[in-house]
Amino acid sequence: MSTHELRRAVCPGSFDPVTNGHLDIIGRASRLYDEVIVAVLVNQSKSGMFTHTERMEMLAEVTADLKNVRVASFQGLLVDFCRDEDASVVVKGLRAVSDFDYELQMAQMNYGLSGLETLFMPTNPLYSFLSSSLVKDVAKWDGDVSLHVPALVAERLRARLAALRPQAPA
């Protein structure tokens, strides 16, 4: 029997939708750990642009080439999900010091709750200004988001926004 314990990390978030910044962190985490679980929060209070299923589908497609990455759904406490999945570490991207305050609070709370570790990974400076909400806002006004999200996400954004746009009166 192998004594090697699988090192499993979790990248949690809302991913509404996944951006190139998220993908950068997921890809880098996948090179550090044996397995990475992208955990998509089921958020009852937050109505996103994409449904939970759509967000999961997009993530599965854009991470398909990363063989040790899988996408899963979670609700409730992140520490409970990590315990159930036997993952001992959460990997989070930090874009700027402004992210640090809240991320530090969550990391310390999670550590206090169950000993779950958090690893902060500095975002690639190419993506340091990027967020799902900014991407949605730019796309809403027909701005170009092709450098900020994978092509299939840009396409899904275009289609969703076209469907939401009020039709001109006949």
20 binds ligand PNS (CB under 6 A): no
Given 94, 106, 134, 152, the residue binding ligand PNS (CB under 6 A): 106
Given 10, 26, 38, 78, the residue binding ligand PNS (CB under 6 A): 78
Given 13, 17, 21, 150, the residue binding ligand PNS (CB under 6 A): 13
Residue 168 burial (10 A CB sphere; 0-12, 13-18, 19+)? exposed
Which residues lie below 8 Å from residue 68, measured CB to CB, with a gap of 6+?
A: 30, 33, 34, 35, 36
Residue 120 Cβ vs ligand PNS, minimum distance, rounded to whole Å: 13
Q: How far apart are CA 121 and CA 91, in angstroms?
A: 7
Given 110, 118, 148, 150, the residue binding ligand PNS (CB under 6 A): 110
Q: How far apart are CA 15 and CA 53, in angstroms?
A: 11
What is the Cα Rg of the chain in Å?
17
Task: Based on the residue annotation, tell me whether 132 is a catalytic residue of this protein.
Answer: yes
Catalytic residue among 4, 46, 67, 165: 46
Given 77, 94, 121, 134, the residue binding ligand PNS (CB under 6 A): 77
Residue 41: DSSP 8-state: E
Task: State both tokens at 55.
Answer: 């967000």
Q: How many residues bind ligand PNS (CB under 6 A)?
A: 9
59 binds ligand PNS (CB under 6 A): no
Task: Based on the residue annotation, tell me whether 88 is a catalytic residue of this protein.
Answer: no
123 binds ligand PNS (CB under 6 A): no
Closest CA to 132 of 15, 13, 11: 15
Task: Based on the residue annotation, tell me whether 95 is a catalytic residue of this protein.
Answer: yes
Whether the bond into 17 is cis, omega within 30 of 0: yes
Q: What residues are annotated to the active site?
A: 22, 46, 95, 132
Binding site for ligand PNS (CB under 6 A): 12-14, 41, 77-78, 106, 109-110
